[in-house]
Amino acid sequence: MKQKMRLFAMLVCVTVCLGSFCHVGSCEESLLPDRESVYQVALLQSLAQGHFDGIITVGELKAHGDTGIGTFEGVNGEMIVLDGVVYQAIYDGSIVIPPDSETIPFSNVTFFEPDLQVRLTDVPDMAALQEELNRIVLENGANLFYMVRITGVFSSLKVRSEYKQEKPYRELDVALAADQTEFDYENERGTMVGLYCPKFMGGLNSIGWHFHFITEDLARGGHVLQVSVSSAEAALDPTPGFALALPEQDADFQSMDLSRNMDEAIHRAETATSADAAAEEMADGEK
Ligand SMILES: [Zn+2]
């Protein structure tokens, strides 16, 4: 069983401790890998190539962080981890709490200890939101990870989930083009959880920001495709450590060519709406 599979955990801890990140306790404390690392399960590139088998359980993931994002075995919905609780936004946009035995093919979590805050008012779209957050990233170090929680009122949001996939798995962008579900919210209160990956992460994840959303009543959510912020507070946790868990005995994973450039497919999977997918299909048909 997958649960029996031993995980090979590689820990890369950046030993540079910038003064600005040492204001909570001492530098020694801030370098403790279990609290000051982003813990990643597998690679976005393996997920993009259709490795949807879980390699770690929800129970195990919670030992590595209390805040984050990810997905579930078979890409069965979008994961939001908030205050130590793992939430699953399933195909119909509703939230369920998965059992600790549920497994995970891809995720990023950390223990959230925010050092930076910024007030966001009337941010018109995703590009403007990323621009605001990138300013903070540039001021504090573009070559660190950042977990962000953005809590407030969102004037509009488009989020997606998807139907659980069955084997043989298709590649992620193909599966999403067929089985993505989308939900529009207006003037919704809630929290966006986001991760910023620095540019050197291009082969292991996608660089820049990736956001998931959950409503204030913890009833609905998904992966954020479009957003405008009315009024919200963003809290950021700059994180200097990185830990990667790979499946040690998994023939499918070991046979993948993970040097394949998945950038375009990942971009499509992260940003495409069903309208984009339909337009692309029509363009393909006309060729
Ligand atoms: Zn996502």
- pLDDT on residue 57: 98
Ligand 1 centre and the CA of 223: distance in Å?
A: 4
- pLDDT on residue 111: 97
Residue carrying structure tokens 């620095």 = 198
Rounded mean pLDDT of 164-170?
98
Rounded mean pLDDT of 184-193?
98
Ligand 1 centre and the CA of 210: distance in Å?
A: 6
pLDDT exceeds 50 at position 3: no
Integer angstrom CA distances of residue 284 from 98, 177, 277:
39, 14, 10
Distance CA 36, CA 120 (A): 26
Distance CA 24, CA 41 (A): 27
Q: 29 vs 268, which has greater pLDDT? A: 268
pLDDT tens readout for residues 120-157: 999 999 999 999 999 999 999 999 999 999 999 999 99
- pLDDT on residue 24: 40
Ligand 1 centre and the CA of 29: distance in Å?
A: 31
- pLDDT on residue 284: 76
Opening angle at CA 86, ends 84 and 90, nearest 5: 160
Ligand 1 centre and the CA of 175: distance in Å?
A: 14
Q: What are phi and psi of 53, to 5 degrees?
A: -70, 135
Residue carrying structure tokens 């390699």 = 55
Ligand 1 centre and the CA of 153: distance in Å?
A: 20
Integer angstrom CA distances of residue 130 from 15, 92, 203, 215, 279:
27, 27, 21, 20, 26
- pLDDT on residue 19: 32
Ligand 1 centre and the CA of 86: distance in Å?
A: 14
Take residue 226 and report the two structure tokens written for it.
Answer: 């479009």
- pLDDT on residue 8: 41
Ligand 1 centre and the CA of 19: distance in Å?
A: 32
Take residue 207 and report the two structure tokens written for it.
Answer: 């660089």
Take residue 246 and report the two structure tokens written for it.
Answer: 């790979």
Ligand 1 centre and the CA of 225: distance in Å?
A: 9
Q: 23 vs 90, which has greater pLDDT? A: 90
Ligand 1 centre and the CA of 20: distance in Å?
A: 30
Answer yes or no: CATH 3.30.420.40 is held by domain 2-286.
Answer: no
Cis peptide before 98 (omega within 30 of 0): no
Take residue 175 and report the two structure tokens written for it.
Answer: 């599966």
Residue carrying structure tokens 């982003």 = 38
pLDDT tens readout for residues 198-229: 999 999 999 999 999 999 999 999 999 999 99
Residue carrying structure tokens 């540079």 = 16
Distance CA 266, CA 208 (A): 12
Kindly report the number of other CB atoms within 10 A of residue 75's CB atom. 24
Q: 3 vs 263, which has greater pLDDT? A: 263
- pLDDT on residue 287: 59
Of 246, 193, 178, 190, which is closest to residue 220 (Cα–Cα)? 190
Question: Long-range CB contacts (< 8 A, 24+ apart) of 253-257?
Answer: 253/42, 253/46, 253/51, 253/53, 253/55, 256/46, 256/49, 256/51
Angle between helices 172-179 and 274-286 (to 10 degrees): 100
Ligand 1 centre and the CA of 219: distance in Å?
A: 18
Ligand 1 centre and the CA of 24: distance in Å?
A: 30
Model pTM? 0.88
Ligand 1 centre and the CA of 28: distance in Å?
A: 33
pLDDT tens readout for residues 241-283: 999 999 988 999 999 999 999 999 999 999 999 888 788 778 8
pLDDT tens readout for residues 80-124: 999 999 999 999 999 999 999 999 999 999 999 999 999 999 999
Per-residue DSSP letter, 170: P
Residues with CB in 5 Å of ion ligand 1: 223
pLDDT exceeds 90 at position 29: no
pLDDT class of 180 with cuts at 50, 70, 90: very high
pLDDT class of 34 with cuts at 50, 70, 90: low
Ligand 1 centre and the CA of 45: distance in Å?
A: 13
Ligand 1 centre and the CA of 159: distance in Å?
A: 9
pLDDT class of 13 with cuts at 50, 70, 90: very low
Q: Which amino acid is at 208?
A: G
- pLDDT on residue 162: 98
- pLDDT on residue 277: 78
